[in-house]
């Protein structure tokens, strides 16, 4: 569900509240994933 919200352009705080993430860092996993897919730069992925 989170990736869909992110792809639809909702901000991270909205997504965090909608999916029930207690910590913003959990939601940031999805936003970072989206950025990587958009840029195609996976060089910094551990």
Give pLDDT tens digits along the chain (46 positions): 556 777 788 887 888 888 888 998 887 777 766 666 666 665 665 5
Residues 32, 44 contacting (CB under 8 angstroms):
no
pTM of the predicted model as reported, rounded to 2 decimal places: 0.52
Task: Evaluate whether 19 touches 5 at the Cβ level (below 8 Å).
Answer: yes
Residue 2 near residue 27 (C-beta atoms within 8 A): yes
């Amino acid at each position: 569900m989170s990736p869909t919200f992110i792809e639809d352009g909702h901000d991270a705080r909205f997504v965090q509240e909608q999916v029930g993430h207690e910590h913003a860092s959990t939601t940031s996993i999805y936003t970072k994933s989206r950025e990587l897919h958009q840029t195609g730069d996976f060089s910094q992925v551990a």
